[in-house]
Structure 1
Amino acid sequence: MSEALRPSAAQRLPYWELVTMIASLMALNAAAIDILIPALQEIGATLGVETENQRQLAISAYILGFGGAQIVYGPLSDRFGRRPMLFVGLAIYVAASFCAAMSPSFGALLFFRCMQGIGAAATRVLATSIVRDCFGGARMASVMSLVMMVFMTIPIIAPNIGVAIMAFGSWQEIFVLNGLFAALVTFWVALRLPETLHPEDRRPLTLRATAESFRIVLGNRRTLGYSLATALILGGLFGFINQAEQVYTGIFGIGPLFTLYFSASALFMAAASLTNSRLVERIGMRRLSHGALCIFVLLSALQFLAAAIFGVPPLPLFLVLIIVSFGMFGFIFTNFNALAMDPLGHVAGTASSVLGFMQTLGGGILGALIGAGFDGTLRPLFGGFLVLSLGSLVCVLVAERGRLFARPREVHAHLAEAEAQAPAE
């Protein structure tokens, strides 16, 4: 598979613009989550939400819609192309954003949040598919790292924008801003993004063809292993996002400016993604991501131990451990996705759809469970981190047949030997 931009896309879209556009599409998802965190308390007060843990449903409803809908967009985009399905998703996102701003009840808000997530699912699936249409191997991981670096500026900026809006307006205006941002990105895509799915790569939309695509995706050991590993890691990330306001304001008493501390974690994620983009082609996806995962497991154990000993650990210790942990996400998430997608370029749309469904829906459910377990301490959060990170490590070991940090040539030789010994597998 070529690791350069395909000529049909390159003729119309410069490399820097493609990266920025893909990042903007994915940023719609981050904006819908992170900008709302400072408004959860006012949403609860305005719409009569009884408990703090129930307010988290405004985040969880979006994530579940976002994760569940991804299973649809991939097969449709493999048949009809990337652009048409992208416009369908963007239209749903824009409409749901404006409707959410007019929600008369918390139940209505949860419905429109779920619909907003369903629309955003197209951006996740198709952004990854477009990159896979154009790149392969370590080059794909490098591009996705750059995308993630731009994408991660949103969690740095968005919560503080939310605070500014809440200082002068209301939570409804946050959804209006979401809708306007999405409409602007839609206009840019309509003007500049070419169709990246080549005619010869289109797949018929039949039950048999779709089932075969799913079989290809789920039957690949590496793809399945890294997808499950990513879902577990995302569960920890979503669990923290669900609890972030309660942790910073309730446990540590920081107040509305807690978004600055939240942004510091996102800043380290962005820096890690940039570092990954510069190192991945030289060091390799496995060495970077496997090393980051091992560090994350160790940090999770230290965080759980600190929470068990201190109950509430000192704020400086908490910040150091959580910020470094978030930095590891920058090496794990991009490389795990690239490793899962790399063997499946011929079914990139379906592959991205199935992987996104498994990762985000699984991570969203796990994150919601961790969030619901909040009891005024950090033990449920860091206990969840430790269990999920250990589970992720097991999935990687299964995907790599027990070998970590291997170079690509060593992996190919090892897999070939294993396949020769077990031809029926």
Structure 2
Amino acid sequence: MSSDNSQKTLPFGEFIALLAFLMSLVAMAIDAVLPAMGQIGHAYQVENVNDLQLLVGVLFAGLAIGQLIYGPISDSAGRKPAIYLGLLTFLVGSLISVFADDYNTMLLGRFIQGVGVSGPKVVAVALVRDQFQGREMARVMSFVMAVFIVVPAIAPSLGAGILYIAGWREIFGSFVLLTAVIFLWFALRQPETLAKEKRIPLSLRNIWRGSKETLSNPIARAYTFAAGLIFGAFVCYLSTAQLLFKDIFQVDVLFPLFFAILALFVGVASLVNGRLVMKFGMEQLATRAMQGMVTLSSGFVALLWLSGGEVPLWLFMVFTALIFACIGLLFGNMNALAMQPLGHIAGIASSVIGALSTFVSMIFGGLIGQAYNGTLYPLFIAFALLALGALLITAPVRSAVSLEQANETK
């Protein structure tokens, strides 16, 4: 273990599991709601089916804005108070969604959920950076993602089960219970990782300085925008998954199963990355994954064109699973690459990187999601173009990253 401080830490396995559950609130808030989108739309008389994508879109808007708040708070007050605040805000948003009488109030609750869940998401990364750096940080983040991905794999099934037994409001009620459990686990077991002498006074001047340093660093900037593009492709899939499975492949009741299968490929790839990154390094694995994503997505678009826009479900699943495996290799590595030069301002840096990458993903994911036309073309063209964009953005800094990693291994 390469540690930036001498404070005691949780056992490695428990630390991975706790961080995975903290970050999984994002996935739970998104994916458990997917099977209920139709019923929510019916309950609030939403006429345009694409307007239901706002159930995901406004949460991402809150997530992007909220991330700007919690990092500076965590650098000043400590990591634990910032996460407490985020969990409590998420709980309030969940309660608003439970009791919402109209669609606008529901969307307000979803936005507040996004603001709240951004706290655990962004500060969890700072928790890791407090204790690990370089390839070891990428390894830890990969293991976290491997555990974390189990949640989006099973969340639609949990949502569908709650929907069958009770109703869609109880899905939001389950978020309240889950938040309470995670809050207690975190409060009782996780030590504070930011020593008092390393804290930065909360001021606009310090936030500005930290933000400026983060955005001025060419490596952090490149991998932040690249992560936003890759996650934008994933957001597009999340926004349209339930629609395309039902409309194109007539998969309705079994949607949670197919969704889980694809999500598990992200988790398996993240787990494999945790082992490969120590040998090959973050930059090499990230580059190969982006190249693979471009090649696979372009190949699938060509197959769509040759087959008149229709392909069997098994072929869609094979190509999507391989693309998701590439995404699984990218999540942990891109976060670690962007954070690597900024350990001394981990909270603010994590906020800026998280917020900016989320804004980018929200813009591209939302625009492409609205372009859904009942075919697979928009999604896979988006996969190809956004991965190509990420590849081009990171090209100028790859030599610098490779040099840093070479020095790290000496």
> Does structure 1 residue 47 correspond to structure 2 residue 74?
no
Q: Give the corresponding residue for 1:373.
A: 371
Q: Give the corresponding residue for 2:7.
A: 8
> For structure 1, which segment, 32-41 or 255-264, has the greater mean C-alpha deviation from structure 2 after superposition?
255-264
**How far off is 1:217 after superposition?**
0.3
Superposed counterparts of 1:39-118, under 5 Å? 39-118=36-115
Counterpart of 1:387 (choices 385, 392, 398) is: 385
Counterpart of 1:364 (choices 362, 365, 372) is: 362
Q: Is the 8 A contact 2:95 2:109 kept in 1?
A: no
Superposed counterparts of 1:154-303, under 5 Å? 154-303=151-300
> Does structure 1 residue 331 correspond to structure 2 residue 339?
no
Q: Which residue identity lines up with residue 143 of structure 2 in the other structure? A: L
Dislocated runs of 4+, deviation >4 Å:
403-407, 410-413
Q: Give the corresponding residue for 1:37.
A: 34
> For structure 1, which segment, 359-368 or 82-91, has the greater mean C-alpha deviation from structure 2 after superposition?
359-368
Counterpart-to-counterpart distance in 2, 1:140 and 1:333: 12
Q: Give the corresponding residue for 1:417.
A: none
1:57-101: CA deviations, max 9, x gaps?
101111111112101111111111111111111001112112201
Counterpart-to-counterpart distance in 1, 2:66 and 2:3: 30
Counterpart-to-counterpart distance in 2, 1:404 and 1:206: 32
Q: Which residue identity lines up with residue 342 of structure 2 in the other structure? A: L
Counterpart-to-counterpart distance in 2, 1:150 and 1:410: 30
Corresponding residue SS for 1:311: coil
Corresponding residue SS for 2:252: coil
Q: Which residue identity lines up with residue 251 of structure 1 in the other structure? A: I
Counterpart-to-counterpart distance in 2, 1:375 and 1:410: 49
1:315-363: CA deviations, max 9, x gaps?
1111100011011111111101101101100000001000000111210
**How far off is 1:119 after superposition?**
0.2
Q: Unaligned regions of 5+ residues in structure 1, if any?
A: 414-425
> Does structure 1 residue 121 correspond to structure 2 residue 118?
yes
Counterpart-to-counterpart distance in 2, 1:305 and 1:241: 23
**How far off is 1:373 after superposition?**
0.6
Corresponding residue SS for 1:194: coil
Q: Is the 8 A contact 1:287 1:406 kept in 2?
A: no
**How far off is 1:308 after superposition?**
2.8
Q: Give the corresponding residue for 1:150.
A: 147
Using structure 2 for the length normalisation, give the TM-score. 0.96
> RMSD of the alignment, in Å?
1.8
Counterpart-to-counterpart distance in 2, 1:238 and 1:279: 26
Q: Is the 8 A contact 2:283 2:398 kept in 1?
A: no
Q: Unaligned regions of 5+ residues in structure 2, if any?
A: none
**How far off is 1:163 after superposition?**
1.3
Q: Give the corresponding residue for 1:419.
A: none
Q: Is the 8 A contact 1:223 1:399 kept in 2?
A: no
1:345-397: CA deviations, max 9, x gaps?
00000010000001112102211111111111111111211211111111110
Q: Give the corresponding residue for 1:399.
A: 397
Distance 1:285 1:365, change over 3 A: same
1:207-255: CA deviations, max 9, x gaps?
2222111111011100000000000001100000000011101111012
**How far off is 1:148 after superposition?**
0.4
Counterpart-to-counterpart distance in 1, 2:142 and 2:59: 24
- Percent same amino acid among aligned pairs? 38
Counterpart-to-counterpart distance in 2, 1:306 and 1:405: 36
Distance 1:379 1:97, change over 3 A: same
